[in-house]
């Protein structure tokens, strides 16, 4: 059974925009370095992605990430 919190229901009804709260990276070492990207929103939602393994990619994620903090992650065209 899936339980929806009151805060999520109120956010849906009021249609408040989500905001990106934090961006974190993690490196997993295997046959090459796997760079994972986590995006956290103000209502507790979490999204996980994978980045291209290359020199400076992790640093670039943090530079770009600092520019999109506070943006609505559902507005893809506006964020990127």
Residue 52's pLDDT is 84
Model pTM above 0.75? no
The C-alpha angle with vertex 25 and arms to 54 and 44, in degrees rounded to 5, equals 150
> What is the three-state SS of 25-58?
EEEEECCCEEEEEEEEECCCCEEEEEECCCCCHH
Residue 2's pLDDT is 65
Domains belonging to the chain, first-starting first, are 17-79 (3.30.390.10)
Mean pLDDT across the chain: 83
Mean pLDDT of 24-29: 91
Buried b or exposed e, range 32-71, using 16+ CB within 10 angstroms:
eeebebebebeeeeeeeeeeeeeeeebeebeeebeeeeee
Mean pLDDT of 74-79: 75
């Amino acid at each position: 059974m899936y339980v929806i919190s009151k805060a999520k229901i109120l956010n849906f009804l009021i249609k408040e925009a989500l905001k990106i709260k934090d961006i974190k990276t993690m490196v997993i070492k295997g046959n090459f370095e796997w760079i994972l990207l986590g995006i956290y929103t103000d209502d507790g939602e979490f999204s996980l992605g994978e980045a291209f393994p290359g020199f400076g990619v992790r640093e670039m994620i943090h530079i770009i990430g600092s520019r999109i903090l506070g943006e609505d992650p559902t507005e893809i065209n506006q964020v990127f």
